[in-house]
Amino acid sequence: MTGMNKTKIFGTIALVCLCLGGVLLSTFPQFLRYVKGDIRAFEEVAAGELKAGELVHGVIDITDGCIASNEETKSTFGIETSKRTTALYYSIVGYDDQYMLYETGNTEQYATLDALADECERYYSDENADAEEPHSFLEFTAVVRNMPDDLSAIVQECYGNDYVQYFEKVMLVSANFKSYPVNIAIGAAGAVLGIVFLILTIVSWRKSKQFSY
């Protein structure tokens, strides 16, 4: 293996490790908030109060159902070989009657929210005066994120141009904080490994430069 090949390999490994470490370590501030108990109660949040980066815990007991999905497609030689849903976006209602999106990639949460959506549709429909009050609910912990433009466009399509009057500009993203310590440990290990390979890349590059003269 030539010096230049070693340099490229070390550089690639360093880049991958540093990127992975950076992504996983980016969750540390959220985990720190969680450990400190800096979590807002969903039932106490008024319309327009939530800010990106905050943590929220509470119960979802009203939803219009899923209005969007995120799908991951894999292709081989330009031919689609598989497709899977990585997240669903549900339109939910807060305790101040504010609407917002809730993102989850958990299949158990899909089932609970879909059941709740069916119950809400029957209960709030004028055609089902005798329908039972919704009894399904979802207890959740989430991170607040700004709603991206593509989802904002979908919301506008579903609810009309006046949606901005009652739909939050932020959204809730389901979070499983039990897995965060593992992610942070892997992220730290990845960052350290990335630094090691970055040093090896620099050393290998210098050696290859010396032998080239």
Q: How many helices (H) and strands (E) does the chain have?
A: 5, 7
pLDDT in tens, 154-203: 999 988 887 777 899 999 999 876 655 555 555 556 566 666 666 766 66
CA-closest candidate to residue 55, choices 36, 40, 74, 66: 40
Task: Report pLDDT for 3.
Answer: 46
Query: What integer pLDDT is reported at residue 108 of this predicted model?
Result: 94
The C-alpha R_g of the chain, in whole angstroms, comes to 23
- 10-36 tens-digit pLDDT: 667 656 655 655 555 455 566 555 556
Nearest to 54 by CA among 108, 107, 114, 100: 100
Question: What is residue 161's predicted lDDT score, i.e. its pLDDT?
Answer: 80
- What pLDDT shows up at residue 65? 95
* DSSP output for 28-84: HHHHHHHHHT--EEGGGPPTT---TT-EEEEEE--EEEEEEEEEEEEEETTEEEEEE
State what percent of residues in the chain have pLDDT above 90: 35
Q: Quote the DSSP letter at residue 161.
A: G
Question: Per-residue pLDDT averaged across 136-151, rounded?
Answer: 93
195 phi/psi in degrees, rounded to 5: -65, -40
Query: What's the rounded Cα separation, in Å, for the pair 203 and 208?
Result: 9
The predicted structure's pLDDT at residue 90? 97
Instruction: Please tell me the distance from the alpha carbon of residue 210 to that of residue 203, in angstroms, as a whole number.
Output: 11
Q: In this predicted structure, which of 73-77, 88-92, 205-209 has the lowest mean pLDDT?
A: 205-209
Q: What pLDDT shows up at residue 181?
A: 52
User: What's the CA gap between 23 and 40, in Å, rounded?
Assistant: 25
| CB count in 10 Å sphere of residue 95 | 16
- Give the model confidence (pLDDT) of 76-124 as tens digits: 666 666 678 889 999 999 888 899 999 999 999 999 999 999 999 988 8
Looking at residue 139, its pLDDT comes to 93
b/e burial code for range 117-145 (CB count within 10 A of at least 16 → b): bebbeebeeeeeeeeeebebbbebbbbbb
* pLDDT at 188 (0 to 100): 59
Q: How many residues are given for the chain?
A: 213
Q: 73 falls in which pLDDT band (50, 70, 90)?
A: confident
Give the pLDDT score at 200: 63
- Across the chain, where does the E strand assignment appear? 40-41, 55-60, 63-76, 79-93, 99-104, 138-146, 170-174
